[in-house]
Structures are given as C-alpha cells and as structure tokens.
Amino acid sequence: MKQLGILGYPLSHSISPEFQQAALDHHKIKAEFHRWEIKTDELNSFFETIQDANFVGASVTIPYKEQCLDLVDKVSDSANLIGAINCIVNTNNQLVGHNTDGSGFIRALKTKHGFNPHGKKVLLIGAGGAAKAIAYSLVQEKINQITIANRTVARGDKLAENLKSIVPKINSIKLERQSLIEPLSDVDLIVNTTSIGMKNGPDPEHSPIPADLIPQNTVINDIVYNPIETPLIKAAKKKNIPTIGGLDMLVYQGIEAFELWTKKHAPETIMYDAAQKALGL
C-alpha cells in the first residue's frame, strides 16, 4: 500500500485527508492518506520514517511550511523564492519540496472564476506565509500593481522589498482605514490572507477592511474558509460584488499536489464535493 498524508500540528481541523482520499479512490490508486500530527521534537525522526519507497508524498501545513525547507533533499525554484513548502513529493527516492499554495490560488482564480490577473491592480491584505506565496504567484502572472496592507508594516515592507525588482508598481501600507482609502479607490482584486474573520481566530467578527470602503468594480477573494461566509464576503455580497471563498484555494492547492504525486488529472468536482461534505456543508 502506498502512503501519503498531511503533516502539521495540530491537525484536528484539516479536511485534506477527506478530499485527497476521495481523489485516490476515484483513480483506484491503492494508497492511504494519513493525518500525520507530529510534534516539533518528533519532526526529524518522522522524516527518517518517510525515507521509504512506499512513501509517495505529503502536504505540509502550519507550523512546518518553513522548517521543512531544510529537511527535504531538493526544493523547487518557486518554493525557494516563496521561502516555504506545502507539498513534498518522493521523486526517485529523493524528497522534493514544492509550493502549491500560490499556484492553487491562481488556478482557482483563472479556471473556476475566469479572472485573469494579467495587468490587474491588487490589494493584498496580510504579509505572512500565505500572503508571500500568493504575492509571488500574482507577480509571476504579470499583474500591473500590488499594494500590501499589513498590521505590522515592517513585515509588509520586507515582502515589498523582495518583490520590487519583478513587479512594476509595489507599495506597503498599514492595515488601517486612512491608509486604505487611496488603494481601495482603484483596485481590480482584493485578497485577504489574514486570519481576521476566521472562526476561533483572533478577530472572528470583523472584516479586515471597512465595509463602506469596499468599491463596486472589484473582486473580493478571502482565503479564510471557515466560515465559508466571512464578514468580508458578507459585506461584498451585500454590495453585489463578485466573491471568491477560501475553500477554492484550499482545494486547488490540493489538486495541484495530487497531480504532482500521481501524475494523473485530479478529479476536481469529486475533491470539492468531499471537502464540502467534510465541512458539513
């Protein structure tokens, strides 16, 4: 039996095992998708146990996306640029680290929602791990402009500094009402990568941007998927603005990972349905 799984701590909330197993079963691949809830001090010995021909690959989630960079044998160019991996692939008995967070985000945007980021103006809220992967992938798609709005400005400044040679217009601002007025006056896509609005998160009741500042001609993408309708998504829907929820990025990063592991076309609808079912929707 081939072995795959998700590596992280804690993992009680993860729905990856459900939608990945559904995809493996659909293709009649004899493989088990595990929940590898591993504590930090067990991480090195865990990597010894996966040096096995039956190990196909793993998803990597919080808090190990950066730490695992040093534990794999090789890292893809884009994961190196992002500085984090969320997917490990056993390639001829070498562990190769990839990052499918950004590519999954872009694939959901383009194929599921028909939004082509080329030439667009983007407001990115947050500057953490998810923001980094999304920012690099958007820049690769040749967006015209990106504004990074973060609570801790120094972190946003650092991300902007790293990207400034590859995107024509980039700036970093504080995530606060006054600074948001100007970038929100002309923006094609707004992406929330912070945990504001997330159930059991630091600020579940609020939208990361004031509802009255959300402009009409834009698309709102919130990568928070629990709840499916965050305060930001609700505010946008009230104004009839197109919205993209967080489940899309979650499933599409998994679709990209599945295709790297199996070299087979991922059954998108089956995975999406399994993810929704696992969330009780």
Q: Which stretch binds ligand ATR (CB under 6 A): 50-58, 127-135, 226-234, 244-252?
A: 127-135
**Interface with ligand ATR, residue 176, by CB under 6 A:** no
User: Residue 126 or residue 254: which is nearer to ligand ATR going by CB?
Assistant: 126
Respond yes or no: is residue 199 known to be catalytic.
Answer: no
Q: To 10 degrees, what angle do helices 16-26 and 268-278 make?
A: 140
Output the six-digit token pair for 132.
Answer: 């980094």
**Residue showing tokens 């923001």:** 131
For residues 136 and 165, the answer to whether their CB atoms sit within 8 Å is no
**Interface with ligand ATR, residue 235, by CB under 6 A:** no
For residue 138, give the nearest of 146, 149, 130 by alpha carbon.
146
Q: By CB under 6 A, name the one of 20, 193, 207, 230 that touches ligand ATR.
A: 193
CA distance 252 to 268: 8
**Interface with ligand ATR, residue 227, by CB under 6 A:** no
Output the six-digit token pair for 94.
Answer: 């070498």
Q: By CB under 6 A, name the one of 42, 202, 238, 277 that touches ligand ATR.
A: 202
Q: By CB under 6 A, name the one of 194, 207, 218, 230 that touches ligand ATR.
A: 194
**Interface with ligand ATR, residue 128, by CB under 6 A:** yes
Q: Which stretch binds ligand ATR (CB under 6 A): 74-82, 123-131, 242-250, 266-274?
A: 123-131
217: exposed, middle or buried (C-beta count within 10 Å: 0-12, 13-18, 19+)?
exposed
For residue 102, give the nearest of 132, 68, 61 by alpha carbon.
132
The residues of the shown chain that bind ligand ATR, judged by CB under 6 A, are 126-131, 150-152, 155, 175, 193-196, 202-203
